Amino acid sequence: MSIQKPTLPKGTRDFGPQVMAKRNYILDTIKSTFKLFGFQQLETPSMENLSVLTGKYGDEGDQLLYKILNSGDFLKKVTAEKLSKGSNAVLPLVAEKGLRYDLTVPFARYVVMNRNDITFPFKRFQIQPVWRADRPQRGRYREFYQCDADVVGTDSLVCEAEIILMIKRVFSELKLNDYSIKINNRKILTGISEVIGEPGRESDLCVSIDKLDKIGWEKVREELEQKGFSEASIEKLGPIIDMGSKDKFEFLQIFLASSEVGLQGLNELREVFDLLGSFKEDEEFVDFDVVLARGLSYYTGAIFEVKVNNVSIGSVSGGGRYDNLTGVFGLEGVSGVGFSFGVDRLYDVLEELELFPEESLKSTTLMVAHFGEDALSHGLNVLTEARKLGISAEIFPDDAKMKKQFNYADKKNIPFVIIIGSEEIKSGEVTLKNMESGEQRQMGLQEALKQIKQSV
């Protein structure tokens, strides 16, 4: 029998203990911020009915959904006639479920299904993996974690301002100090499409404009021409693309003068900036980006995207307001706003900038090293006392040479070792070694544990 070489599906990864320690450093920072702002945790299943997922992410998103084959004989309903009509005719017969593409649509489904038990406004956060059948590349995976925070059941722009505050707090805690929170409003983009003479085509306009920083204006221009935008309309976009450092609010007040919805979006955005002032928060790191579009089709108001500067990763966070998302599930008039952190991308950013603190890698604070069987038995008592004080501690389980035991502590980045041999058993004391400084001293067990406790 040939030995099978184990492999992973492309675009997925294992997370070993060191990587998990770093990931938890990020996740704990995000979680504590969400809780500080009054959000409660929620989890939904990995799979959803395809009817819940399709049509919510635009055509591109629908193509990236992972479908799950029906259990049992999944081909039993497929006739030769259906097969001849292609995959679109066959899919509903062989797959009823799919892996979730994001956390927002499952959240909307949850809200509708539990509307009688929820207190509105409902503030929830969710940290779970999502799946996209994308082409794997650096910073883009097929399985990755999202951290979402959403508020539903209120139109208040305080929620938008608080999203900016949460992003700033998380980045400050992670020691990131060169980034940009790009913010815009979909109503402004709707207004722009009206002003250039292409009303109702903001979705097409947005999908193309969203690629501006990736492919440049000339290529976006070509794409708009291919979509049937007139030469005159594209020319009218010119001043928006070339706005440079002009006062954006002033410029748009004039540019959008003929569009009621465009001016409404501009006023909403102005209010978000005013609210930041009420929070005694400055506008540092916040950038009003008129051509920020975000391709997802369900945003209706404010939209956010966060990029860390001078790194090779794309955006690390994004979101926006969606007034009509629950409407597709039969619950009208529930407005929501939310955003998501891409943990995997944040991980790559912190790795690239070498910002993970050394202490985030320490899992065990104390290891007990011992000479022989009697010392092992004595050491177990030391472990119990250490853990009673909340010190994470372990004992080297085998009877091994001291060098091997110290190597183990070294590789696991354990800062303290208590050594127990026949002398320590006789004297009732322990030898405490600081692995960083190399200093070691004999002392009573409680004194040693107190020193360890104080240093962590």
Which residues participate in the annotated binding site for L-histidine? 102-104, 132, 146, 150, 294, 298-299
Q: Which residues are annotated as a binding site?
A: 102-104, 132, 146, 150, 294, 298-299
Amino acid at 392: S
Amino acid at 133: A
Q: Which two tokens stand for residue 434?
A: 């600081």
Q: What does each C-alpha distance from 94 to 48, 55, 69, 172 come to in angstroms? A: 15, 19, 6, 48
Complete DSSP assignment for 243-290: -TTS-HHHHHHHHTTT-HHHHHHHHHHHHHHHHHHHTT---TTEEE-T
Complete DSSP assignment for 199-233: TT-HHHHHHHHTTHHHHHHHHHHHHHHHTT--HHH
With both helix axes pointing from N to C terminus, report the angle between 202-209 and 186-195 in degrees, rounded to the nearest 10. 110
- DSSP character for 6? P
Q: Is 314 helix (H, G, I), strand (E, B) or coil?
A: coil
Q: Of 320, 349, 345, which is closest to residue 335 (Cα–Cα)?
A: 320
CA–chain centroid gap for 370, Å, is 44
Q: How many CB atoms lie within 10 A of CB 76?
A: 9
Amino acid at 254: I
Strand pairing partners for 443? 430
Phi, psi of 58 (to 5 degrees): 80, 170
Structural contact between residues 183 and 302, judged by C-beta atoms closer than 8 angstroms: yes
Q: Which two tokens stand for residue 106?
A: 């499952």
Bridging pattern class, strands 416-420 and 429-434: antiparallel
Q: Which two tokens stand for residue 290?
A: 């008129």
Q: How far apart are CA 34 and CA 167, in angstroms?
A: 10
